[in-house]
Structure 1
Amino acid sequence: MGAGEIQERLGVSRTRAYQLVARRDFPEPYAELQMGKIWLASDVEDWIRVNRPHLADDAP
């Protein structure tokens, strides 16, 4: 999952997505490719469940 997918998943601006992925509590990227950093979707979803529970897939 790249920054663009994280942006879409959270419903935030591109700038806000980059602010979030720079936070200390955001998961470390799985890899850094020429096009940018990528994260495991499961790591991002775990972070969402803790930090944005209203956006979690299993939110009521």
Structure 2
Amino acid sequence: MGAHEIRIRLGGVSRQRAYQITSRADFPTPAADLSQGKVWFTEDVEAWIKERRPHQDDVDE
């Protein structure tokens, strides 16, 4: 899952807000840092959302 998908999954937050969230110490570590940006395991991001933002846990993907 890239930053764009995370933005969508978090309800359409801005790029800046997505960067702030993904830079938090409690956010999952990226699976890879590619030339086009960081990517995360979907399962890790979904678990973080379920724990930290339960109101967004039931959003359709």
Q: TM-score, normalised by structure 2?
A: 0.89
Distance in structure 2 (CA, Å) of the matches to 1:6 and 1:47: 11
Aligned to 2:34: 33
How much is the aligned-residue C-alpha RMSD, in angstroms? 1.2
- Per-residue deviation at 1:41? 0.5
1:14 matched residue in structure 2: 15
Q: Which has the higher contact order (CA 8 A, sep 6+)?
A: 2
| Unaligned segments of structure 2, at least 5 residues | none
What stretches of structure 1 move > 3 A for 4+ residues in a row? none
Shift of 1:5: 0.6
Shift, 1:51, TM fit = 0.4
Q: In structure 2, what residue type is equivalent to 1:18?
A: Y
Instruction: Report the 3-state secondary structure (helix = DSSP H, G, I; strand = E; otherwise coil) of the residue aligned with 1:32.
Output: strand
Give 1:40 shift: 0.4
Q: Name stretches of at least 5 consecutive residues in structure 1 with no aligned partner.
A: none
Aligned length: 58
